[in-house]
Amino acid sequence: MSWLHIIIQGLWVILPAYVANGSAPVFGGSRRMDFGKTFRGNDLLGAGKTWEGFLFAVASGTLIGFIQTLIWPSLNEIAAPAGYALPYMTVTTAFLLAAGAMLGDVIASFFKRRTGMERGESAPIVDQLDFLILSIPIALALSEINYLTAALVILITPPIHYLFNLLAYCTGIKEVPW
């Protein structure tokens, strides 16, 4: 199996998490997940973590997984003979990947607030990989990817994350380019 095939398989499996992570800021919302609570003078999670964004993100990731289940047979008909078979995706796995991505993001926000970081303040590496904290273990448990594939997904995610955040910033979806 080539490196390209491994990366394609990894991105295919983790796609619901990627979509969920990118969807939350698009929808936004006003109902804070922390209900405006503070802990030792800092927000519990921050105003950027809303129920609307969380639920929309999980729904978006799940929808992508549903679409993957629909197109998988046709894609594999083309890709498998060339040696690029894709792992099968289920809607349940997509839902868990999307929910895991959003919970990982919430966990990172909680810890960023504990260190006194303000909303929008950059935390390199954490900002790029927080959504994979739970998504990668879920993918390893419920899909056909292995540890090498998971490691490559982790390695290629920061530049992908940076480019999409820069695009979101340039289009006004995000207030900061990270």
Q: What is the mean pLDDT of the chain?
A: 93
Locate tokens 């960023």: which residue?
Answer: 112
Give the predicted TM-score (pTM) of the model.
Answer: 0.91
pLDDT at 137: 97
Domain ranges, ordered by start, for the chain? 3-170
Run of H or E including 26:
helix 3-27
Contact 12, 87 (CB under 8 A): yes
How far apart CA 15 and CA 17 sit, in angstroms, is 5
pLDDT tens column, 3-59:
999 999 999 999 999 999 999 988 888 999 999 999 888 899 999 999 999 999 999
Does residue 178 register a pLDDT over 80? no
Locate tokens 């802990």: which residue?
Answer: 39
Of the candidates 110, 101, 112, 122, the residue with the CA atom closest to the CA atom of residue 22: 101
Run of H or E including 128:
helix 126-129
pLDDT above 90 as % of the chain: 69
